Amino acid sequence: MASPLPFAHPADLVRADQKDDHCRAELRTLLLETSEELLGGHAARWQGALQVLGDASYAWATAAAGSSLGEEYSELLLVENLRPAGRFRRLLAAALNAVLVNGNWGEWLMLFLRLHLALFYLFGRYRHLPERLLNLRAVSLAERPYRSFSYRPLGFVLLAQAIGQLLAKILQRRSGADVADTETLQAAMGNWAPALPQSRLSAGRPPRCNICAGEKCGLFGGGELSLGSRRIMRVHVLDYDTPEGAKRLRSKALILTAPSYVTASLLKEVCPAAASALEGIRYPRVAAVTVEYPKSAFREPDHGKGIVNGFGQLHPRSQGIRTLGTIYSSSLFPNRMPDDDKIMLLHYIGGARDPELFGGIQGLTEGQLVEATHKDTVETMLHPSEASNLPKALGVRVWDRAIPQLEVGHQDRLDTVKKSLGIEGVEGLYLAGNFVGGVALGRCVEFGIEIATEVVDFVNEVKIKEPA
């Protein structure tokens, strides 16, 4: 039977689809933003489910209304055997479509869907597979429904591309190659934004191909990736404020090397439990005080190897000396003190127990810090007569949060962080820096190499999951 109304032109079908996609994305955004506000960092766990919920809500609402916003916009009517499509069929089509769009399908189905899309452009019918399966077509209610152009050339291009892909897959399978298409990996977008202060859970708007408006269109590169049996994950979406303006990067793995309190603030949204474990790490205040004395001010030490000769000295708290330790700068480093009659010392004062034992250094001026270290130097190295001769202060620098204290239970904290990130489903996030690997500078470098090796293994192992 001939339709009293003309079947819709593919251009109108594409337009309607784009409009519906846009509305669905708006709904997803709304749901995700609301969930972020209500659940904070826990929202990340529900992101995939919320997107499906958003799509399903849109399908239910439009099925109940009898037409989607896209159909209204493009003046279309969905029909089944030339009768307006029933609600049940519309819902079923929407549900099947949601399954196809949100599922994590194998490469063969993706290829099949591309072939199906090529057929749509060639013959102008059934934009989506579920519509073909349920025999749902759209007629045009527009006053001027006819168009004088065809999408057939695009259909041929897509067909050729899909066939090429098919052949490549067959050849690849025969040769057993497992080729990682790194460019495609980089182009594939994820929707999980965990890390830096400017970043937030993104609305997860997937990449779109301008030609077919498809979220999973292979033309864009966001399609299924053929990386064999590798593990699948989402990518980190990182928003940075840089001197050149805002920059967005996508990455499979992320290493955070900022101090633990900064890392905690970055992770607060994504994983509050990890953040609170990190917040417990103490960084006491320490001042570095560099001073100059005349050589004549020093006592001859008992060891007979000359004055201020060596690396330096450390002061256990049991000695009752406030200064934590002193580096003999002019002895340790060449050319540090050009005048042979002068000696340069670098004192560290402060630390975890200073507040309890000496009242803390937070209230001390630079001059008072020099005086405090001088008092100790008189006790340990100088002639008693030098007590009233303050040294020349070359530099005083206070580190409000100097070195992390790896106290009893520190490893438990780190374990908690790792476990909490795992529970939240955060993958590919690595912590490094002195609070993880150890505080000595050399150890920081070593640990950097260790963690980098781990990251390389991880990056090689996973493949990126398509945006849900």
Ligand X SMILES: Cc1cc2nc3c(=O)[nH]c(=O)nc-3n(C[C@H](O)[C@H](O)[C@H](O)COP(=O)(O)OP(=O)(O)OC[C@H]3O[C@@H](n4cnc5c(N)ncnc54)[C@H](O)[C@@H]3O)c2cc1C
Residues making contact with ligand X (CB under 6 A): 257-259, 262, 286, 288, 399, 402-403, 433-434, 439-442, 444
Q: Which is nearer to ligand X, 171 or 314 (CB)?
A: 314
Q: Got the DSSP string for 190-250?
A: --B--SSTT------PPP--TTT--TT-TTTT-S----TT-EEEPPEEEEEEETTEEEEEE
Q: Which is nearer to ligand X, 110 or 195 (CB)?
A: 195
Q: Going by DSSP bridges, is the β-strand pair 323-327/342-350 parallel, antiparallel, or unpaired?
A: antiparallel
The distance of closest approach from Cβ of residue 288 to ligand X in the complex, given in angstroms and rounded to an integer, is 5
Q: Which is nearer to ligand X, 206 or 259 (CB)?
A: 259
Q: Got the DSSP string for 423-452?
A: HTT--SEEE-SHHHH-SSHHHHHHHHHHHH
Query: Residues near 264 by Cβ (< 8 Å), separated by ≥ 6?
Result: 274, 275, 276, 278, 279
Residue 360 contacts residue 299 (beta carbons within 8 Å):
no
The distance of closest approach from Cβ of residue 429 to ligand X in the complex, given in angstroms and rounded to an integer, is 15
Residue 378's H or E segment, with its range, is: helix 366-380
The distance of closest approach from Cβ of residue 396 to ligand X in the complex, given in angstroms and rounded to an integer, is 12
Q: Which is nearer to ligand X, 129 or 266 (CB)?
A: 266
The distance of closest approach from Cβ of residue 373 to ligand X in the complex, given in angstroms and rounded to an integer, is 14
Q: Which is nearer to ligand X, 147 or 443 (CB)?
A: 443
Give phi and psi for 97, each to the nearest 5. -65, -40
The distance of closest approach from Cβ of residue 448 to ligand X in the complex, given in angstroms and rounded to an integer, is 8
- Residue 195's alpha-carbon distances to 164, 251, 257, in angstroms, are 39, 11, 12
Residue with the CB atom nearest ligand X in the bound state: 433
What the block records as the tokens of 429 is: 């996030």
Q: Which is nearer to ligand X, 127 or 347 (CB)?
A: 347
Q: What is the CA radius of gyration of the chain?
A: 34
The distance of closest approach from Cβ of residue 265 to ligand X in the complex, given in angstroms and rounded to an integer, is 7
Q: Which is nearer to ligand X, 22 or 410 (CB)?
A: 410
The distance of closest approach from Cβ of residue 357 to ligand X in the complex, given in angstroms and rounded to an integer, is 19
Query: Residues near 377 by Cβ (< 8 Å), separated by ≥ 6?
Result: 293, 323, 326, 345, 347, 391
